[in-house]
């Protein structure tokens, strides 16, 4: 096992008064930093980056897995998530303010963090890895700034769809929504056959994830019932674009080599959506599609997670 160095910092957002949490890991002996060995991960619509990408399960996280293979690896939280600053709208009742933290906002946050990494490491490009909503963030960023992207990995991407997103609570949208622990588990297991559920998530892994995730929002955890608060900007985007039959960005602008990975049992972003997006990558220099058997939208924390890790690593 290689010893890993962890570095934590905050990067200023384009939104006044908002700082973005960034965590970095790389091997202790790493002295040379290059675009092809620099990776930035961004989370999905509801949960922060660290409790998915850097949660030690069976002794190591996905972030550890990549860093121990010679990469300089970063994760970040978009405004309103995890350890990043939470705008004042999150301290008011949700109905008091409109949705915030849209995909455009998230893309601006990625731009700020990417620029910081480039300056710090003296590189002109980096690899991007997005999960769920993070795929729209990273995909649209790659289309808008192709010169900054070395490689692009989209795990569980959404696309134009019939019906609402699984993250959409319905009704009039306020600034944020609250997700309970029970709702999080039900959404995770949606679409998994009853006889497959017991073996999908190894014993204790869900509780480990839920404890770490809900602890990132002490205000929500003190509510009755306890909730994790998540911004609704992405839900509004879903209503205005994906569920309205309109694409939020043009994937033909993506020129970097691109990989799409989707779980067989993913009900949030079914494989068909990923295949549609794959077919629209007209100008990517290389493209690859991986369908992960017996895996859901949250494959990175399931029994078969190493299949996902290995497939992404082969693309690097």
Q: What percent of the chain has pLDDT over 70?
A: 99
Q: Quick one: pLDDT band at residue 165, thresholds 50, 70, 90?
A: confident
pLDDT tens profile 177-201: 999 999 999 999 999 999 999 999 9
pLDDT tens profile 272-286: 999 999 999 999 999
Q: For residue 59, is pLDDT > 70?
A: yes
pLDDT tens profile 10-22: 999 988 889 999 9
Give the model's pLDDT for residue 2.
65
Give the model's pLDDT for residue 45.
96
Q: Domain range for residue 211? A: 4-315
- CATH number, domain of 299, equals 3.40.50.1820
Q: For residue 125, is pLDDT > 90?
A: yes
The domain tally of the chain equals 1
Distances (CA, A) of 139 to 127, 225, 260, 314: 12, 35, 11, 20
DSSP-derived secondary structure for the chain: ---EEEEEEEEE-SSTT-EEEEEEEEETT-----GGGEEEEE--SSS-SHHHHT--BTTB-HHHHHHTTT-EEEEE--TTSTTS---GGGGS-GGGS-----HHHHHHHHHHHHHHHHHHHT-S-EEEEEETHHHHHHHHHHHH-GGGEEEEEEES---S-SS--TT---SS--SEEEE-HHHHHHHHHTT--HHHHHHHS-TTHHHHHHHHHHTT-HHHHTSSS--EEEESHHHHHHHHTGGGT--SS-GGG--S-EEEEEETT-SSS-HHHHHHHHHT--S-SSEEEEEETT--TTGGGSTTHHHHHHHHHHH-
Q: What is the mean pLDDT of residues 108-119?
A: 97
pLDDT tens profile 131-140: 999 999 999 9
Q: What is the mean pLDDT of residues 27-50?
A: 97
Give the model's pLDDT for residue 166.
84
Q: What is the mean pLDDT of residues 240-262?
A: 98
Give the model's pLDDT for residue 167.
87
């Amino acid at each position: 096992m290689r010893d890993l160095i962890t570095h934590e910092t905050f990067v200023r957002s384009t939104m006044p008064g908002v700082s973005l949490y960034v965590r970095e890991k790389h091997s202790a002996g790493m002295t040379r930093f290059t675009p092809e060995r620099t990776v930035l991960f961004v989370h999905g619509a509801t949960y922060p980056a660290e409790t998915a990408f850097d949660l030690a399960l069976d002794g190591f996280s996905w972030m550890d897995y990549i860093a121990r293979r010679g990469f300089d690896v970063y994760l970040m939280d978009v405004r309103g998530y995890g350890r990043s600053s939470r705008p004042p709208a999150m301290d008011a009742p949700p109905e008091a303010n409109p949705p915030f933290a849209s995909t455009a906002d998230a893309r601006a946050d990625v731009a700020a963090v990417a620029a910081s990494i480039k300056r710090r490491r003296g590189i002109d490009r980096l690899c991007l890895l997005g999960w769920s909503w993070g795929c729209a963030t990273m995909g649209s960023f790659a289309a808008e700034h192709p010169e900054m992207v070395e490689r692009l990995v989209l795990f569980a991407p959404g696309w134009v769809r019939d019906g609402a997103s699984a993250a959409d609570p319905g009704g009039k949208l306020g600034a944020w929504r609250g997700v309970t622990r029970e709702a999080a588990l039900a959404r995770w297991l949606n679409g998994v056959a009853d006889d497959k559920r017991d073996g999908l998530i190894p014993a204790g892994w869900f509780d480990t994830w839920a404890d770490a995730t809900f602890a990132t929002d002490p205000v929500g955890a003190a509510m009755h019932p306890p909730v994790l608060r998540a911004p609704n900007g992405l839900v509004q985007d879903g209503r205005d674009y994906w569920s309205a039959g309109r694409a939020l960005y043009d994937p033909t602008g993506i020129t970097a080599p691109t990989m799409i990975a989707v779980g067989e049992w993913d009900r949030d972003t079914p494989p068909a959506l990923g295949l549609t997006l794959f077919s629209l990558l007209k100008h990517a220099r290389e493209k690859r599609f991986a369908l992960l058997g017996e895996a859901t939208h949250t494959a990175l924390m399931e029994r078969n997670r190493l299949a996902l890790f290995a497939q992404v690593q082969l693309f690097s």
